[in-house]
Structure 1
Amino acid sequence: MTTRMLVRKVAVLGAGVMGAQIAAHLVNVKVPVLLFDLAADMAPTLPAARGSLPPGGAGCALGRPGGGAGPKSAIALRAIDNLGKLKPAPLGLADDAALIQPANYAEHLALLQECDLVIEAIAERMDWKTALYRQVAPFIAPHAILASNTSGLSITTLGEALPEAIRPRFCGIHFFNPPRYMQLVELIATPATRPEVLDQIETFATRTLGKSVVRARDTPNFIANRVGVAGILATIQEAEKFGLAYDVVDDLTGKRLGRASSGTFRTADVVGLDTVAHVIRTLQDNLDEQSDPFHASYGTPAVLKTLLELGNLGQKTQAGFYKKVGRDILRFDLASRGYVPGGQKADEVYGRMLKKPAAERLRLLRNAEGPQGRFLWAILRDGFHYAAVHLQTIADNARDVDQAMRWGFGMRQGPFELWQEAGWLQVARWVQEDIDAGRALCSAPLPQWVFDGPVAQAGGVHTPEGSWSPAQGGFVPRRDLPVYGRQVFREGVLGDGQVPFGQAGATVFEDDSIRLWTLPSHAGVLIASIRTKMHAIGPGVVEGLVRAAELAERDYQALVVWQGDEPFSVGADLQAMLPAFAVAGVDAIEGAEQEMQQLMLRLRYAAVPVVSAIRGMALGGGCELAVHSARRVAALESYIGLVEVGVGLVPGAGGLTYIARRAAENAAASTDRDLLKFLAEPFKAAAMATVGTSALESRRIGYLLDSDVVVAHKDELLSVALNEAAALAGAGWRPPMKRLFPVAGRSGIATIEGSLVNLRDGGFISAHDFHIASQIATVVCGGDVDAGTLVSEEYLMALERKAFCGLIVHPRTQERIMGMLSTGKPLRN
């Protein structure tokens, strides 16, 4: 076997919430998928969670579902229908649910023979899983891989239920919920799993599914849930010890601490308290004092027991540690078994401490006298202690632990990274002192490798040579599978010596707004990376991109616009515009808008191809920059849209001109030449500030074209964009010819305004919304001209500037701008 695995079709066994969402993500990345569950007549009473019943029936007839009792694949069908109700959306395009093929174990087992990968995702019951394996094993293709999506059961024990021929092709593949959005996938081998099988799955998960992979040992809850849930339990215990309320703890353990913004208790609510309890039970049932010195800390907290008894399972039941009543967020009170007003915040002194460099931050927290500071030191100490003691048993090396916590629990740094950054030996001594003094969760000392030998000499577990592996007694390099060749800046860990993207390659030009640079692998392609906050487009960026186009035409074959992190760009820098507006009035704004419009045309008609590599948000001017490029390469999780209506403006850098031009082009390619039919959806998107919720939806709206490339893995974006740019240049790129195109004219404006009147008079939009939408209609229809009049892009851009400048002096628009700048949220007035 090679590391390349051709996956033509996948089967997912179990149409529960997790199985259905895995199937949905396979469809997102264009992998045909079968979603199996019980035949409906085997499950007369369907539980709320699909896929949670034991498998039954051994038939494999291929009869089509039907009959008066309803289709036999009803469980899978209902799960597919339910995908549209889940938030966040599992599907990049809701309509793609129809691409998931429902199946049942009674009729369709023979279809498994067509599948190259079979993923089992039924409920976490060893007996149910092994019974299902015995049922499906005769139908697994001789080359196919079978993988279990268990979150903590023994992969080795599961594999023992399989025939000898399948065991080498069996492993664990643990997706995190929700599978579309969570970056982490854990792979777990059994003693019988062939190494090349793991390489093949890792390659498929990385390239096709866009996931980041760690390999875990076959221990309870693997890596991320083992460390993460132990951390949640420690946080609950330390919070009780120091008398801290849940909302205070969440304020301390969210973004301030470099973790998920939801903190600890809100995260538990989102995950589901029943799920948290299940993971805790896995620790309780499969470990003891001999196998895990922290076992005594795995008791189910009293507050969790109480919430489970009350049926308050978190977000899924609208009540858990928190409960929303109207606009108020209430907090659970264990003493009264009810909810009390929430909203408490942490003492800001600790917020300031958490902004300090790592070494000073930990020193201040360790020496803090207040309960909040002592609590913070305690949970960090507990995390360092736990990770060090368990490293050898749960992972091959420290890198896999740190990356699992980053990708699975939203941490900015893993525990070893923070420890190393703060000063390895000093922090180790502090932790050991607390262990010796009885302040830690258990009395197990830190492993000897922490204090002596290569780790102590290197100042931590991560080095340019690799990351520490206690089992191997050395630093282990990263796996170098061919799939990682497309990740120009593969996500690493602190201390691994990787050159950050901002310092890589050869700089051609650099200032505070932009960096123009090249990579040796694609020396003929110039790269432009915006350096402003949120990659906003101000005068410096406009000037820098014009310079990039000039340099690319003179010295290079192509230009790629790529940011090393999210977002691609949030658009025009409003704050940079306001001082000029205050001094010079609307003339300054018109001049700035005209410069942005000229930039867009400069890029569109550049003599070399310009490729925008999009990841995250491309809003307003960021969207306009993208649509005026020759090609777009977008990460699946790209959110593209013209959002200026949110601040009371219209798109002013060519976005409306693009809508009008594309409508004319689409009409010319159709037998139906009615321009209004091709304007309706893009007009609505601009007037309602609609943002594509994925690259797939952005393509449907029209901000991406069929010729544009969607990339599953964010770290492959730059490589694909560089290759696309080089390919366009190599194919003899010529910019499009400037040409006139027809517009819908005054009759089109009248038709659109007629529908807007109904929305305004019905109270669905405000008078100012109506005014803005009318301005958008005027531009995309070409103003006061006859239908079919031929216009230029420059003509429409002049209409854009007129509408933009007329709105920016409007009091209602100024209220919206100030509201957005002060609160970060749109103001509807």
Structure 2
Amino acid sequence: MSNFIVRKAAVLGAGVMGAQIAAHLANADVPVVLFDLPAATGDANGIVRKAIDGLRRLDPSPLASKDRVAYIDAANYGADLEQLRDCDLIIEAIAERMEWKDELYRRIAPFIAPTAIIASNTSGLSINRLAEALPEVLRSRFCGIHFFNPPRYMHLVELIATRGTAPALLDDLESWLVSRLGKGIVRALDTPNFVANRVGVFSILAVMHHTQRLGLGFDVVDSLTGPIIGRPKSATYRTADVVGLDTLAHVIKTMQDTLPADPWHGYYGVPVWLAALIGKGALGQKTRAGIFRKEGRAIKVLDLALQDYRDSAGEIDGGVLAILKQRDPAVRFAQLRASEHPQAQFLWAIFRDIFHYTAFHLADIADNARDLDFAMRWGFGWAQGPFETWQAAGWRSIAEAVQADIEAGRAMSQAPLPEWVFGRVADEGVHGPQGSYSASADAYRPRSTLPVYRRQLFPERVLGETAVVGETVWENDGVRLWTLPQVDAGIAIVSVKSRNHTLGRDVIVGMQEAVARAEAAYQGLVLWHEAPFAFGANLKEVAEAIKAGDFELLEKYVAEFQNTSMALKYAQVPVVAAVQGMALGGGCEFLMHAAKRVIALESYIGLVEAGVGLIPAGGGCKEFAIRAAQAATRTGGNDPFEFIQPVFMTIAMATVSKSGAQAKELGFAVEADRIVFNAHELLYVALREARGLAEAGYYPRLSPRGVKVAGRTGIANCEMMLANMKEGGMISAHDYTVARAAATALCGGEVETGSLVDERWLLTVERKLFVELLQNPKTQQRIQHMLETGKPLRN
């Protein structure tokens, strides 16, 4: 077995998608050459350089850290095609014009290495047809690789084989995409718009049809088709604005042109009102006007009756809202179907028609129901795929209701439901322990057996699949200590159980017990649970103690928190923190004290205590003071303040990293820590890291003594920065107070510059300052405001 290695990649096309695909390749430490046409004037690579420069300004950023842009080289088709010879992977991402792609393929073919993979990022054109433009010798190494926008953040990649694609190539590419780029792969069939766009665009067309049929407002429909039914906040019409109304129209036209025999073909057209918007240049978010338009702070929505924009309200009827809040999906769907309210009729209709459509087309567009459901979850942000939703609501009863509506002429198509819907699937479910149903094979398909998926100990599952639970060793109300004997019985795992993984007393006490038990009976300990990693201290407990005036209890709580951090740091077995999602406040401090960190790329890490008028006191300030002293000893100046200054601003401004990679830049993680692109591999990698440390004879370093601190001079230097910020109106008086406390903790307290202290001294300083701030009415106001609104108060 040979290794599959991508040393260098090329992306053809520096448009929105091409540039961002290049950025994500660079995120994954793959150097990439980004190509486009030569500029008509000036720098021949001007088009590409402009695209690369644009990556720096996008928000959310396609770049995991600023330095990644240096690994994207600019090139053009006129002078630089020789550079393709060094590329192991070439991704074409130019405009969706078949003739343009044909011409480009013929042009680049002589420069493609015989072992390179070439793939098209087309969102719906035929992969088999595209392959015809390539020489026969290259066709076995050609496939479709459809990223979703934005490529860094969207989990789905559709992988599409041609009739001649080498099967081993697809397996290698899938494994690489899953682990190196962190993607969820669906093997799509070569049908128009593949899986996610085929179903997703039909879903949008169904919503548009029933919106108009029932006379509902676009804002009302977005309220009905958003989070309340498990769809993204952008719902339907705001999603269309974000995608671009012209782009949506293009995808609709692909279906109209290529699916003439489809029973729903009559609906594959751009509605008149949508065509009118496009004709006026109102293309959505990119033109600042589409179905919605922002005027100052007000959001306006197009009203077809008025032929103008009005204030967006989007109120859901109370009775319909009560139905949607029913916990039992079977009851919910039965009541929606029975209701005469237009909003309820609308919801039943859009679900009925998507159930009908996906059942009818499953054999044509996807290998199995799991692939289709994952495509909608990963590509369109649905909480459940259509088959999962159907199964949860009672497969047989929904099938009978859908069939009744078809026979009564109420459905969008008169095509009957396929026979398999009423066969064994009605009894066994479309998803189950044996796999997911394949209509084309009339069999249940198990999950992929590619070795890469063994790294996913807790993969994302569809409804009906069984999950691994592990063996519990010990637990309290705050944490669970457990193992996965089938992976490594010698490494224990500790998981926080509290809501949002806040770090209350049960967690603090439980974590200390978990460390003690790991030291007694295991070779290592991994701190892991599904996102978020931790949202910090339990503010409700803190607020209750403040209200009771029990500041002595609060100081004991902080001291216990610090003891837990120290237990993690000085455990006699390696503690590895496996971090995913938010790791804020105390959660950040916990990971800072671990022997090693394994961090998912999409992790957002920071010491955000300033937002509630506090400073880090679980050892965060102490750790930065120690690191500054250690870094200073390696420089000629031997001045810790040089390393305190950037950290001080990070804490004072409650800066949160926007990626795991940026967490290293901010100092929350260190260079040796692992960044994992696929969060489902996080626990596997953390267990391996813990095992590796244990096998290497791990023992904790001794607590540092003689820590040189910046002292009063360092505090004064920080105060000068704060004074300028206050005078400039950037911070409030209380922001100043809080930031000065952070400076004092980072600089080792009110001591002479250059004083030598130990770790316990630093902990005492930050704890005392923390409790003093808790007694400040302004901080108390911030804590209460955060509890009531979930947002920081600037007072």
Shorter-chain TM-score tier: over 0.9
Q: Is the 1:654–1:797 contact (alpha carbons within 8 Å) kept by the matching residues of 2?
A: yes
Matched, 1:455 2:425: yes
How far the C-alpha of 1:206 sits from its partner, in A, is 0.4
TM-score, normalization: structure 2?
0.98
Pairing 1:342-421 to 2, within 5 Å after superposition:
342-355=312-325, 356-421=327-392
For residues 54-73 of structure 1, the aligned pairs below 5 Å read: 69=42, 71-73=43-45
Counterpart of 2:406 in structure 1 is 435
Residue in structure 2 matching 1:477, options 446, 449, 473: 446
1:17 aligns with: 16
Question: Does residue 1:742 correspond to 2:713, yes or no?
Answer: no
Look up the match of 2:37: 38
Which residue of structure 2 aligns with residue 295 of structure 1? 265
Q: Does 1:552 align with 2:518?
A: yes
Greater shift in the superposed pair: 8-17 or 668-677:
668-677
Could you tell which deviates more after superposition, 257-266 or 340-349?
340-349
The 5 A counterparts of 1:170-319 are 170-288=142-260, 290=261, 292-319=262-289
Q: Is residue 744–residue 787 contact of structure 1 (8 Å, CA) maintained in 2?
A: yes
Match of 1:63 in 2: none
Kept after mapping to 1: 8 A contact 2:543/2:784? no
Match of 1:605?
570
- The amino acid that maps onto 2:556 is G
Q: Which amino acid aligns with 1:583?
A: A
Q: Which residue of 2 aligns with 1:54?
A: none
Deviation at 1:4, TM superposition (A): 4.3
> Cα distance, 1:397 vs. partner?
0.8
Partner Cα separation in structure 1 for residue 376 and residue 318 of structure 2: 27
Task: Give the TM-score of the pair, scaled to structure 1.
Answer: 0.94
Bigger mean CA offset, 527-536 vs 506-515: 506-515
SS in 2 for 1:256: helix
Alpha-carbon distance in 2 for matches of 1:790, 1:807? 26
Which of 298, 303, 317 is residue 333 of structure 1 equivalent to?
A: 303
Give 1:352 deviation, angstroms. 3.4
For 1:343, give the aligned amino acid.
A
Summarize deviations over 1:213-272 as a string: whole Å, max 9, x none: 001111111000000010011111112222222222122211110111221111112222
CA distance in 2, matches of 1:349, 1:601: 54
Q: State the alpha-carbon separation in 1 of the partners of residues 426 and 729 from structure 2.
A: 68
Q: Are residues 1:499 and 2:467 paired? A: yes
Deviation at 1:637, TM superposition (A): 0.4
RMSD over aligned Cα atoms? 1.3
- Is contact 2:477–2:507 with CA below 8 Å preserved after alignment? no
**Contact 1:3-1:200 at 8 Å conserved across structures:** no
Is this contact kept in 1: 2:323–2:335, CA < 8 A? yes
- CA distance in 2 between counterparts of 1:775 and 1:457 reads 64
Cα deviations by residue, 1:124-166 (Å, 9 ceiling, x for unpaired): 0000001000000111110111000000011111001110001
1:632 equivalent in structure 2: 597
Task: From 725, 730, 733, give the equivalent of 1:764.
Answer: 730
Distance in 2 of aligned mates of 1:671 and 1:38: 50
CA distance in 2, matches of 1:671, 1:534: 45
- For 2:506 and 2:137, the matched residues in 1 are separated by 63
CA contact (8 A) 1:150 1:172 kept: yes
Q: CA deviation at 1:584?
A: 4.5
Amino acid at match of 1:639: Y
Distance verdict in 2 for CA 1:351–1:725, change over 3 Å: farther
- Structure 2: distance between partners of 1:157 and 1:394: 17
Q: How does 1:675-754 map to 2 (within 5 A)?
A: 675-740=640-705, 741-754=707-720
Matched to 2:395, the amino acid is: W
Hey, what's the Cα distance between the residues in 2 that align with 1:594 and 1:315? 50
Q: CA deviation at 1:335?
A: 3.4
In 2, the alpha carbon distance for the partners of 1:279 and 1:639 equals 34
**Residue 664 (structure 1) shift:** 1.1
Q: What is the alpha-carbon distance in structure 1 between the residues aligned to residue 719 and residue 178 of structure 2?
A: 48
1:806 corresponds, among 772, 780, 784, to: 772
Distance 1:412 1:511 in 2: 31
Task: Show CA shifts across 1:493-513 (max 9, x none).
Answer: 1112x225xxx1110012332
Contact 1:268 1:314 in 2 (8 A): yes
Aligned to 1:591: 556
* Number of the residue aligned with 2:785: 819
- Counterpart of 1:828 in structure 2 is 794
Deviation of 1:410 (Å): 0.7
Partner of 2:434: 465
Matched residue type, 1:27: A
| Aligned counterparts of 2:634 and 2:532: Cα–Cα separation in 1 | 34
Write the letter of the residue equivalent to 1:438.
G
CA–CA separation in structure 1 for the residues paired with 2:612 and 2:693: 37
Cα deviations by residue, 1:423-467 (Å, 9 ceiling, x for unpaired): 111110001111111111111111011012x32231x21121221
Q: CA separation in 2, counterparts of 1:511 and 1:717? A: 24
CA distance in 2, matches of 1:582, 1:796: 28
Shift of 1:3: 8.0
**TM-aligned CA deviation for residue 349 of structure 1:** 3.4
Matched position secondary structure for 1:219? coil
SS in 1 for 2:150: coil
Contact in 2 for aligned 1:3/1:203 (Cα 8 Å): no
Code of the aligned partner of 1:752: C
1:782, distance to aligned residue in structure 2 (A): 1.1
Q: Secondary structure at the match of 1:40?
A: coil
Can you list the C-alpha shifts for 1:317-371, whole angstroms capped at 9, x where unaligned? 2222212222211111223443211133212433332232211111121112211
Select the residue among 625, 633, 637 that pairs with 1:668: 633
1:773 aligned residue: 739
Letter matched to residue 171 of structure 2: D
Deviation, structure 1 residue 673: 1.7
Q: Kindly, what percent of the aligned residue pairs are identical?
A: 54
Larger deviation, residues 92-101 vs 714-723: 92-101
In structure 2, relative to structure 1, the CA distance for the partners of 1:531 and 1:32 (3 Å cut) is: same
Which residue of 2 is the match for residue 619 of structure 1?
584
The superposition leaves residues 734-765 of structure 1 with CA deviations (integer Å, 9 ceiling, x where unpaired) of 10111221110001111110111111112111
The code of the aligned residue for 1:638 comes to S
Distance 1:737 1:763 in 2: 44
Shift of 1:537: 0.5
Amino acid at match of 2:708: P
**Distance in 2, Cα, partners of 1:670 & 1:246:** 62
Q: Residues of 1 paired with 2:307 and 2:281: CA distance?
A: 12
4+ long deviations beyond 6 Å: none
Partner of 1:165: helix, strand, or coil? helix
* 1:579 corresponds to: 544
**Helix, strand or coil for the counterpart of 2:136?**
coil
CA distance in 1 between partners of 2:336 and 2:751 (Å): 69
- Output aligned runs, 1:29-178, within 5 Å: 29-41=28-40, 69=42, 71-178=43-150
Give structure 2 stretches of 5+ with no counterpart. Answer: none
For residues 374 and 318 of structure 2, the distance between their equivalents in structure 1, rounded to whole angstroms, comes to 30
